[in-house]
Amino acid sequence: SPPEKAMVCFGNMFIELPKAKTREMLRQDQEELDEEINKLRKELRVKVNRLYEAQGKPELKGFNLNPMSAEEMKLINRILEG
């Protein structure tokens, strides 16, 4: 049977933790990273629009588009596969 523990790297050391705990930690980290990425994307859009406005250029078209979610991508792939 597969081992119930996983080796996880924290900085420059490896620690053996239960797989369930490791999976939960990774899921939480990914959620936090996704939130931070989305926050930075929103801030970037505002900053780019301000920059273009200050330069007297028209607003970028299509810049306010949002990426598709994983669920939307799965549905698109199903449609394309037939």
How far apart CA 68 and CA 66 sit, in angstroms, is 6
- Give the per-residue pLDDT at 66: 79
Domain ranges of the chain: 5-81
pLDDT digits (tens, 9 = 90+) for 26-61: 999 999 999 999 899 889 888 988 999 999 998 877
Can you give the pTM of this predicted structure? 0.61
Whether 72 has a pLDDT exceeding 90, the answer reads yes
- 34-40's contacts with Cβ under 8 Å and 24+ in sequence apart are none
Give the pLDDT confidence of 8-32 residue by residue, as tens digits: 998 999 999 999 999 999 999 999 9
What six digits make up the tokens of 14? 């490896």
